[in-house]
Homo-oligomer: A and B are copies of this chain.
């Protein structure tokens, strides 16, 4: 149907997806970075996004479990270590602190109880469905598509920069501890994505494979977007919190009646 694209055309087609539908375009992020959200709304975001953070290593290990090539597995392992960290209990080497722990420093700084965050109790069900869809995707599709789905990292550095600047400008909770996750990702993401992009550009040999890679990347932008839709619906507008989900102290639970 479609013809095989050149490496440059294929690269441009991948980038065009981010241009069109990466979640930096979502109104929730614009409110978040623009200083328009109340603390409880930001808590809801950080609490839900925590499930994404803790699921990323499971996603990457699922990908690795499908790789035949030890060199490829060694290269991919860094992503798991970035999230899980290299510290043992009691060790205090800051550079070894992983992304999950850094995210918990953000939820600490927002006044959320760590045990509550880690319990995953107040999650929006839609967060769980979207994130689990990612882990299932990389298990159920080809390795090439699994790698392609990671390429939203192409677009991440600019949203992280925007977030760091927006948080520093607008929110009292912004400090070295709460921002450390995003600062660290500014270094890590470009390194990861260079590898993933090269892999995809090199290993998509047919027009069909290229099409599947583009679909995989679109799928990934959709699941990022869906997480923000659910947050926006529950905590911004129309502010209908689903039964059982986290209720910020500055909000009332939504009452539903027949």
Contacts and interface: CB of A to CB of B under 8 A. Distances in A.
Contacts of A232: 233, 238, 240
Contacts of A237: 237-238
Given A132-B136, A223-B129, A21 B233 contact: no
Max chain B Cβ within 10 angstroms of own Cβ: one of A129, A219, A221: A129
Interface residues of A, number: 36
Interface in A36-52: none
Interface string A215-233: 0001101110110011011
Contacts of A125: 130, 219, 222-223, 225-226
Contacts of A214: none
A242 to B, nearest CB: 5
- In the assembly, how many copies of this chain are there? 2
Given A126-B129, A126-B130, A226-B242, 14 more contacts: A24-B258, A125-B223, A126-B226, A128-B133, A129-B133, A132-B133, A229-B233, A230-B230, A232-B233, A232-B238, A232-B240, A233-B233, A237-B237, A237-B238
Interface of A: 20-21, 24-27, 124-126, 128-130, 132-133, 136, 218-219, 221-223, 225-226, 229-230, 232-234, 237-238, 240, 242-244, 256-258
